[in-house]
Chains A and B, each alone.
Chain A
Amino acid sequence: MITGTAWLTIRARRRRVLALLAFAGLFLAAGATARLLAADAEGHIDAGRLFAAGGTPGLSALVLTGWLIGRFPLIATLVLTAGIVSDDRAHGFARIYAVRPTPPLRLYGARFLTLAALAFAVSAVLLPTFDLLLLGTWAGPATLVLILANVLVFGGLTALLSIWTRGDAWITLLLALAAIVWDNLRRAGILDVPPGIRDVIGFLLPPQAALFALEGAFGSAQPIPWDAFVYAVGYAAVMLAIAAWSLGRREI
């Protein structure tokens, strides 16, 4: 059942997969161009050479591309899991599935695993390749841990929201951006919010502090902060548990 469902899930989302691959291709093209223009003898991109070749725009583009590719697992997860449940409800497919004895949790669980695995796989090819193009090396397993944490956190949140609303991916994106801003303000120490409220907001938003810790370790080739990973996975587990509970109760 899983294999057939997985194939049909991907087939029904083939345009999104193609769009995502094309988007990933843009990063690789940017990385390859930077390497051709500005690689030094050790295979690193030399900022001076890049500035000489492309000026400030060239340098800025590379910085922006580097930041954006750090968000690629989030983008891939949102693109692939958007409407994971809500599309079926909106188009009436959920009713065709619901009358059959297979529990919806099994059906949507398999679909979530398929799409999360695909988001992980595309990201796990892109990020190390991009590193290889720009740095001549890759950050090792920390890359995969970072990708996995992002896919689980934002995939779990999207899946939960998808049971209740069609705006699942957009709301997840909004919450992700809010979490990034919130975490930056928190780390800068400029939050003028009482500690209780701060804790509640920090708890409700996606665990950006944990994801940032993973990203920091990845960026500076430090050991993987497993406590941050466990926190992120715990958040995803809670989201998925609520999603599983909701799935059997929501009207369709």
Chain B
Amino acid sequence: MRARTNGMIEFEGVTKTYGPARSRPALADVTVAVPRGSVWAVVGPNGAGKTTLFGLLLGFLHPTAGRVRIDGRAPRRYLRARGAAYLPERFRLPDGWTVAAALRALARLEGMGAAAARARADALLERFALGAHAGKPVQALSRGLLQRVGVAQALLAPRELVVLDEPTEGLDPLWRIRFRAVVDELRAEGRTVLLASHDLAEVERTADRVVLLEAGRVRDVLDVSRAPDAAQRYRLALAAPTPAVVEAFPGAAVEPGEDDVVYTVTVADAAELSDRLAALLAAGGIVSAVAPAAEPLEARVRRALSGGAE
């Protein structure tokens, strides 16, 4: 897939193969441009190349072919100058480090002085409710607590580029909700966020666009924030079954298990919806509810991965 636009993050024909055999590439001919200030997610099955994509973006890996740029610069050059907020998959810290000491040490690597590092670490300990665990060695933390430390360390400095690999893994439902607020804040501050997740519902709530990776290739880039299908498809609930509904809405599909009272209807726009509803009401139909029927991301992903044949 090739779609060249100017972006904060640019992958141009990037291929990455590991080892001397150079058999199947981990990434093949990836071209993606992520605009500044947007929130993009990368989804795909295990082994699709998400972590390799992040590794190339942040300069951990060198592309076998193609070019990666962040704000027009080579990744390592960009990171030396500007840094990035990064949460790796399965976040860990060296055994023996305490939570507070780890945050302070990493804050020092962000370029903060001792006092500023301490203050920033304390603020994040409070924000992520880690104060009671500040003195604990990191290896004594539960998976969820460690993940909160991981998100906290990523936010030590206000970086323009934020890369989060499976950020909600291990978080309990409450902290998943709080994580959404974190992403909303980052979006409001104009940061460019790239995250990877297997949790499609979470991705749907947080991202603007979704890069769908499969076997190292970009299968599709889905617009989640303004999904065109969501504006055209509606869920229509009737008080009682009536044949008038299929006359007013040709192609209306009854939803399974709803006793012929809930339909999914497709219209060109809101004006057509109003006209057809008026026709239905005139024919004696009693409408109890109308709501946009967004196609879940999961269905769109499934459709894209199966090449459009469901």
Contact B60 A95 (CB under 8 A): yes
* Contact indicator per residue, chain A 98-109, by CB within 8 Å of chain B (1) or not (0): 111111000100
In the bound complex, CA of A252 to CA of B54 (Å) = 12
Inter-chain contacts of A219 with B (CB < 8 A)? none
Q: How far is the CB of A164 from chain B (nearest CB, A)?
A: 15
Chain B residue nearest to A249 (CB atoms) is: B62
Inter-chain contacts of B163 with A (CB < 8 A)? 99
Answer yes or no: B35 CB below 8 A from chain A CBs. no
Answer yes or no: B114 CB below 8 A from chain A CBs. yes
Answer yes or no: B153 CB below 8 A from chain A CBs. yes
Contact A92 B92 (CB under 8 A): yes
Contact A8 B88 (CB under 8 A): no
Contact B93 A100 (CB under 8 A): no
Q: How far is the CB of A100 from chain B (nearest CB, A)?
A: 4
In the bound complex, CA of A91 to CA of B90 (Å) = 10
Answer yes or no: A41 CB below 8 A from chain B CBs. no
In the bound complex, CA of A96 to CA of B97 (Å) = 14
Q: Answer whether A95 and B88 are a contact pair too, CB < 8 Å, given A11-B96, A251-B60.
A: yes
Q: How far is the CB of A250 from chain B (nearest CB, A)?
A: 10
Chain B residue nearest to A101 (CB atoms) is: B83
Contact A95 B86 (CB under 8 A): yes
* Contact indicator per residue, chain B 74-86, by CB within 8 Å of chain A (1) or not (0): 0010011111111
State which residues 1-38 of A face B: CB under 8 Å.
1, 4-5, 8, 11-12, 14
Inter-chain contacts of B84 with A (CB < 8 A)? 99
Inter-chain contacts of B58 with A (CB < 8 A)? 95, 98-99
Inter-chain contacts of B55 with A (CB < 8 A)? 95
Contact B92 A93 (CB under 8 A): yes
Q: How far is the CB of B147 from chain A (nearest CB, A)?
A: 14
Given contacts A4-B101, A101-B110, A107-B109, 14 further A-B contacts (CB under 8 A): A4-B108, A4-B114, A4-B117, A92-B92, A93-B92, A95-B55, A98-B58, A98-B59, A99-B83, A99-B84, A100-B79, A101-B79, A101-B109, A102-B108
Subset of 14 A-B contacts with CB under 8 Å:
A1-B109, A12-B94, A14-B96, A95-B55, A96-B88, A96-B153, A97-B109, A98-B58, A98-B59, A98-B60, A99-B163, A101-B80, A107-B109, A252-B60
Q: Which residues of B line the A interface, CB within 8 A?
A: 55, 58-62, 76, 79-86, 88, 90-97, 101-102, 104-106, 108-111, 114, 117, 153, 157, 163
Q: Which residues of A line the B interface, CB within 8 A?
A: 1, 4-5, 8, 11-12, 14, 91-93, 95-103, 107, 248, 251-252
User: Ordered nearest first, which 10 A-B pairs have the shortest CB separation?
Assistant: A100-B109, A99-B86, A12-B94, A102-B109, A101-B83, A1-B108, A99-B84, A11-B96, A12-B96, A252-B60
